[in-house]
A and B are shown apart, each in its own frame.
Chain A
Amino acid sequence: MKKKKNIKRIHISERLKLDSGKTLPEYEIAYETYGKLNKTKSNAIFICHALTGDQFCTLKNPINNKKGWWNSLVGPGKVIDTNFFFVICSNVLGGCMGTTGPESINPETKKPYGLGFPVITINDMVKVQNRLVDALNIKKLFAVIGGSMGGMQALEWATSFGHKVHSVIPIASSYRHSAQNIAFHEIGRQAIMADPDWNKGAYYHKKKYPKRGLSVARMIAHITYLSESALQRKFGRNLQNSKFFSFEFETEFQIESYLKHQGISFVERFDANSYLYITKAMDYFDLSVKKGGLRKAFSDKDLCYCFITFSSDWLFPTSETKTIIQSINQYNTKVSFAEIKTDKGHDAFLLDEPNFYSTLKSFIIGQKKRLKI
């Protein structure tokens, strides 16, 4: 893992009570902002990142020198226009890009938390985000937006801090993690924990860390982000370097090589324990049991929603989003929704999909008009 110096953080010297009943004595939030906050502080958009994302949603990520994960969507003149909006993006609680997580030093033991880090939930992550918004002195956000796990956080904002947001934009997300989603996550976790270098989470002081396990976890997860037809279109049965089968167990098919590359590049930037904690938080997520069901959870009448899904996303299918919309419809008319036709699967939310961008842009323009900012 690369060192993370010069990351912007704020230190919160307050106890954080977690859903598990445990507490963190103090914590840090690593975050980035883009654009300028206007005088009335009405132009702030909070972007929530997905499972393996970070606070560097646009411009150059100083850690890996690559473009931010939503660079095509966020920036000057883009759909989320940083010439107009003040964008905030923070690393989630439990993450490994500067916010307190399993690789952080436990102030009580002066050693990395490792498995001593308490299990966290999506709600815990959002509580921390809300604390950051308070620290930035913003009373009400123009919007909270996120894809996949970021969408879960956006929905959590709606149910926990609805009065502090004008619009919530969950993309390719759901109100809960399904049995199938939990199953895939569990295989990933087992792969990490089966790696001898994992050492029950205590590997920070050692030379080796569970590269192989984490890499396999990423490979499995990556399949769930793509659709069958996209895999077929991109790779087919093509071989990587030869026209003939080698009759050996080396990387041979292009899809094998692609997944291997995904795995290897991932372990360079992500902490295995963070992967365990964050996937667990997603698995625990289920708003239908919160506040006595979805209808009650989404009973805030003033909130405005824009849901976007992708037709070939089988990890977070449109039907899940429709369940939420049905519940909101009961009390609130301010719900917009579009299913974008694409064969790119769940990953589409990270890609430059013209119809996705045009719908999101239209919604943002409309809300700017509605709120007269």
Chain B
Amino acid sequence: MTKILRNDLQIISSLIEENEKVLDVGCGNGNLIEFLSKEKNVDCKGIEIELEKMNFCLKKGLSVVQGDANYDLNDFSDNSFSTVILSQTIQATIFPERVIKNLIRIGKRAIISFPNFGFWKIRKDFFFSGKMPKNKILPYEWFDTPNIHLCSINDFIKLCHKNRIKIKDKVLLNENGEKIQSINFFENLLSYQVIFCVSKK
């Protein structure tokens, strides 16, 4: 029995076809790539910055390189993977723009998920308390948070336009991590998390 994945990872895995070649940037304990290689025969590789998590992956027989999304993506050549995944990490990178450009350079497409800072509850909290929001997905104090580049859905779309990045798909999630079905308006207000699938134009 394969362990049940975190909700957003479950949705990401559903976007991956069988026999793909996937790079998971910031793969953590390797749950997603383990699932993909077992269930979908995907040729997987992970990048992880923390040695302990990396060792956890190695013990499962997964291939992982110790590395930092900000600096070490240059080790991968153009189009060497079919999909590159960056889940819940873009907001913690030092150079998000450079990272995104690298992701779509290495992969034919990139799947990027992040917490939506435009979510109405975050706006409400900030509006009423006047303090940096804290919640389930962003549980840190402003002064010791790894999340140094938070953005909203609209911010991300704007950055894609600026860099001529094609948005191929977009999955919106509610607070329970469930898919939000068909909203055309107010997506930036109503989505708690988002998963973008992007590529070169």
Q: Which residues on A are within 8 Å of B, measured CB to CB?
A: 304, 306, 322, 325-326, 329-330, 333-340, 355, 358-359, 362-363, 365-367, 369-370
Known contacts A329-B75, A330-B80, A335-B45: does B60 contact A366 (CB below 8 Å)?
yes
Also in contact, A304 and B77, with CB within 8 A (given A333-B44, A335-B45, A362-B58): no
B44-62 CB mask vs A (1 if < 8 Å, else 0) is: 1100000100111111111
Q: Are B44 and A338 in contact (CB under 8 A)?
A: no
Question: Could you say which residues of chain A place their CB within 8 Å of the CB of B44?
Answer: 333
Selected interface stretch from B63-71, B97-105, B132-140, B150-158: B63-71
B95 at the interface (CB under 8 A from A): no
A selection of 18 A-B contacts at a CB cut-off of 8 Å is A325-B65, A325-B75, A326-B76, A329-B75, A329-B77, A330-B77, A333-B43, A333-B63, A334-B63, A336-B64, A337-B66, A338-B65, A359-B58, A365-B59, A366-B58, A366-B59, A366-B60, A370-B61
Docked CA distance A325–B75 (Å)? 7
The answer for the CA separation of A336 and B60 in the assembled complex, in Å, is: 12
Q: Contacting B66 at CB < 8 Å: which of A329, A334, A338, A369? A: A338
**Known A366-B60, A366-B62, A367-B61; further 7 A-B contacts with Cβ < 8 A:** A326-B76, A329-B75, A330-B77, A337-B66, A358-B51, A362-B56, A365-B58
Q: Are B21 and A359 in contact (CB under 8 A)?
A: no
Residues of B with Cβ closer than 8 Å to A? 21, 23, 43-45, 51, 54-67, 75-77, 80
In this complex, what residue of A is CB-closest to B78? A330
Is B55 within 8 A of A359, CB to CB?
yes
B63 touches A358 (CB 8 A): no
* Cross-interface CB contact of A337 among B56, B61, B65, B80, cutoff 8 Å: B65
Which secondary structure dominates where chain A touches chain B?
helix
How far apart are B106's CB and chain A's nearest CB, in angstroms? 9
> B110: shortest Cβ distance to chain A, in Å?
17
Please state if B55 and A362 are interface contacts (CB–CB under 8 Å). yes
CB atoms of A359 and B51 under 8 A apart: yes
Is the beta-carbon distance between A339 and B66 smaller than 8 angstroms? Answer: yes
Give the CA-CA distance A334 to B23 in the complex, in Å. 11
A366 is contacted by which of B45, B61, B80 (Cβ under 8 Å)? B61
| Closest 10 pairs (CB-CB, A-B) | A370-B61, A362-B58, A366-B61, A362-B55, A333-B45, A337-B65, A338-B66, A362-B59, A363-B58, A369-B61
Least CB separation from A301: chain B residue: B43
Q: How far is the CB of A79 from chain B (nearest CB, A)?
A: 12
Minimum distance in angstroms from B94 CB to a CB of chain A:
19
With a cutoff of 8 Å between Cβ atoms, the chain A residues found around residue B43 in the complex are 333
Question: What is the chain A residue whose CB lies nearest that of B106?
Answer: A329
Name the distance in Å between B197's Cβ and chain A's nearest Cβ: 21
- Given A325-B75, A333-B43, A304 and B63 contact (CB-CB distance below 8 Å): yes
Report B-chain residues with C-beta under 8 Å of the C-beta of A329: 75-77, 80
A335 x B63 contact (CB < 8 A): yes
Partner of B65, one of A330, A335, A358, A362: A335
> For residue A358, which residues in chain B have a CB less than 8 angstroms away from its CB?
51, 55
